[in-house]
């Protein structure tokens, strides 16, 4: 992307409410490209652990009321119902765009008011001050703990968080809160959930997953 275009886009986003700016920025992130995958991801890492006979990546740039997690849960449960154990099923969920902050712990949601930032509220309409996807995501008006990041990770699911997205959105939060962007990013990077793997660029991670033959499910 040409520097003048990047600056113009950032200036326009700065005039918008933060939650809307975050959503619009998903399109900008999707336009980023990396010519050499080896330059941003090592040859052997998370993808080597996704080696079950049945593998699917749930591409989730939008939270969509917890639907990506429900789909991952349904994937595991459906194979189980067919007699296939969790050990033979791998679910991968991408976190970027509007789901970026779901890869962070509760301290970050409280400290930076991320529920307000993302426009995500509990059943009473109060913005979340904890990460709802960590232990009890809400779906169809009710909490669904079996679909949480912790529960799915315990069954072998893999969660990937895009560093490009984290860097970008940490900067937007910093600007909105009058804080230093580098300090906010460092704080968030240090508070990534233990069950979440940080990858340099989600566009490359998605490319590698498809090259490895992992099925793709757009959320």
| Domains: count for the chain | 1
The 10s digit of each residue's pLDDT in 178-211 is 999 999 999 999 999 999 999 999 999 999 999 9
- Enclosing domain of residue 148: 3-218
The 10s digit of each residue's pLDDT in 95-147 is 999 999 999 999 999 999 999 998 999 888 999 999 999 999 989 888 999 99
Using an 8 Å Cβ cutoff, are 202 and 165 in contact? yes
Residue 167 host element (H or E): helix 163-177
How many residues are given for the chain? Answer: 219
Query: Can you tell me whether residue 154 is helix, strand or coil?
Result: helix
How high is the mean pLDDT of the chain? 86
* Single pTM value for the model: 0.83
Give the contacts of 175 (CB within 8 A, at least 6 positions apart): 14, 181
Q: What is the DSSP annotation of 31-94?
A: T---S-GGGTS-SSSGGGG--SSEEEEEE-SS-GGGHHHHHHHHHHHHHHHTT--GGGEEEEEE
Residue 157 in tokens: 């699911």
Q: Alpha-carbon distance 200 to 162, whole Å?
A: 6
Using an 8 Å Cβ cutoff, are 188 and 104 in contact? yes
State the CATH number of the domain containing residue 113: 3.40.1260.10
The 10s digit of each residue's pLDDT in 134-171 is 999 989 888 999 999 999 999 999 999 999 999 999 99
């Amino acid at each position: 992307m040409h520097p003048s275009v990047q600056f113009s886009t950032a200036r326009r986003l700065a005039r918008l409410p933060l939650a809307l700016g975050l959503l619009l920025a998903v399109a900008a992130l999707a336009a980023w490209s990396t010519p050499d995958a080896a330059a941003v991801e090592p040859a052997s890492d998370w993808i080597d652990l996704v080696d079950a006979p049945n593998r699917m990546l749930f591409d989730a740039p939008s939270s969509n009321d917890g639907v990506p997690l429900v789909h991952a849960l349904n994937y595991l449960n459906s194979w189980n119902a067919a007699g296939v154990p969790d050990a033979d099923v791998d679910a991968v969920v991408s976190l970027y765009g509007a789901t970026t902050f779901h890869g962070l712990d509760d301290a970050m949601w409280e400290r930076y008011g991320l529920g307000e930032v993302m426009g995500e509220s509990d059943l009473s309409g109060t913005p979340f001050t904890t990460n709802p996807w960590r232990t009890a995501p809400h779906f169809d008006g009710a909490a669904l703990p079996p679909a949480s990041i912790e529960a799915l990770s315990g069954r072998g699911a893999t969660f990937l968080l895009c560093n490009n997205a984290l860097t970008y959105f940490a900067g937007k939060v910093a600007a909105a809160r009058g804080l230093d962007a580098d300090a906010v990013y460092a704080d968030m990077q240090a508070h990534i959930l233990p069950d979440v793997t940080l990858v340099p660029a989600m566009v490359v991670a998605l490319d590698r997953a498809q090259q490895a033959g992992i099925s793709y499910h757009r959320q």
